[in-house]
Amino acid sequence: MNNKRSAGFSTTAVHAGEIRYNEYGSITTPIVQTSTFIFKNTREIQELALGAKNRFEYGRYGHPTQYAAERKLAALERAEDAVLFSSGMSAITTTLFALLNAGDHIIITDDAYKRTLDFCQTRLGKFDIDCTVVKMGDYGAIAAAVRKNTRVFFSESPTNPYLNIMDLERLMGIFRRRNMLVISDSTFATPYNQRPLEFGVHLVMHSATKYLGGHNDLLAGVVLGSKKYTVPIRDFLKTTGGVIDPHSSYLLIRGLKTFELRMRRHNENGLAVATFLESHPCVRRVYYPGLNSHPHHEVAQRQMTGFGGVVTFEVKDDVKYVHTFLSRLKILNIGPSLGGVESLITHPASISYYDYSRPQRLKLGIKDGLIRLAVGIENAEDIIADLAQALP
């Protein structure tokens, strides 16, 4: 009988990856704020050349605070390795450049983050890398899009803004025997609510700016998985230079220590607010995986432990009406991000897609009455009261 037990999620979030018993006796992992690391003697140079661990040379190649944050994230995701970047988009672009070559083909779902779609559709083509966009959840179309030169399938789950859920078991049934990589952006789920690697997904990504950092005070991205895939990505990062800085690494470590506590509150608040909005006469429709009305509720229940703090809903399809509603809010802040302790609300048509024509927006499902609410960790009754008094 094996009596060994794994540490709990919050214990892991607090202790994993930390630089324990450092030379200063600091319980907090130090911010090693330097661009260059010096050598005591030539023997240390030789040790570095031979691959010595915990020996650093130059900040762009990695630093101790970064590595501590990476170890913590890998432990939470139950991944062999994690590579941190200066932003979520840096994680995506660097990873795809590291894994794709001229002549390769990538498949991506249609409701991925707009900057990710733009990169795959318009930027990769300059490097002779072809891209096919398929409808999220259309598994027949996904299978049909595979070519002999398909190297990567990329998707998000849940997606932005409609919170569609990819059935990971069904997806991997398509790709398990194919010589290609499946990458999942799991920013909206977090490793607390869903771990795609456990379903066979090869690499998982997060914008650590969001729930992982949790306090709207840093930019970071991370890719996690087997070293078979992360090592070439880390090597490519050393060339492209999108390394996370020591202070942001420290802020991420600090934020992760309360990760489980925050996620529990986000999940509770998200469901409470979604339930309220679904019953409100001014709200036409609510999109939240925790509601029975969501088209992917059954899949979400099966593969997720919680549904997060993002609630998307529709009101009267009128921009003026929406702006009146937003202007009445007293607690909720208007802003485009998510995952922080403060609730943020955004009108995609006015903020994220302001540079799109109305027909372009509607083609992507971005209606004039669509609103995305990123519920924070305030008291749910206060968030609900603010929404109630603001809805025209």
Please report the pLDDT score of residue 54 as a whole number.
Answer: 72
Same domain, 240 and 307: no
Q: What is the pLDDT of residue 313?
A: 98
Residues 278 and 312 in one domain: yes
Cα distance between residue 206 and residue 193, in whole Å: 13
Q: What is the pLDDT of residue 168?
A: 97
Quick check: is 4 in a domain? no
- 263 and 182 in one domain? no
Give the H or E element holding residue 371. Answer: strand 370-374
**Active-site residue, selected from the candidate residues 72, 110, 113, 262:** 113
pLDDT for the residue 4: 64
Known catalytic residue: 81? no
| 372 touches 322 (CB < 8 A) | no
Identify the pLDDT of residue 3. 54
| Residues sharing a CB contact under 8 Å with residue 376, sequence separation 6 or more, in sequence order | 266, 269, 309, 340, 341, 342, 343, 344, 383
Active site annotation includes 210: yes
Q: Which of 55, 60, 254, 257 is catalytic?
A: 60
Region of residue 225 (left: phi > 0; alpha: psi -120 to 50; beta: else) = left
Q: Which residue of the set 185, 245, 368, 386 is catalytic?
A: 185
In a domain, 345, yes or no: yes
Catalytic residue selected from 72, 151, 195, 210? 210
Q: What is the reported pLDDT for 352? A: 77
- What's the average pLDDT block by block, 10 residues per block, for the chain (392 residues)? 73 90 83 92 88 83 95 98 98 98 97 93 97 96 97 97 96 92 98 98 98 98 98 96 97 98 98 98 98 98 98 95 96 96 95 78 85 98 98 88
Is 3 within the bounds of a domain? Answer: no
What is the per-residue pLDDT for 1? 40
113 is known as an active-site residue: yes
pLDDT on residue 329: 97
Catalytic residue check, 234 = no
Number of folded domains that form the chain = 2
Exposed/middle/buried for residue 364 (C-beta within 10 Å: 0-12, 13-18, 19+): middle
pLDDT at 41 (0 to 100): 92
Domain-terminating residue out of 256, 282, 300: 256
Domain membership flag for residue 191: yes
What's the CATH code of the domain at 43?
A: 3.40.640.10
Report whether 383 contacts 273 (CB < 8 A).
yes
Residues 315 and 203 in one domain: no
| Residue 2 located in a structural domain | no
In-domain check, residue 116? yes
Q: Pick from 17, 11, 25, 12: which is nearest to 65 by CA?
A: 17
Residues constituting the chain = 392
Residue 192 lies in a domain: yes
Task: Give the range of the structural domain holding residue 332, as residue numbers without chain letter.
Answer: 259-390
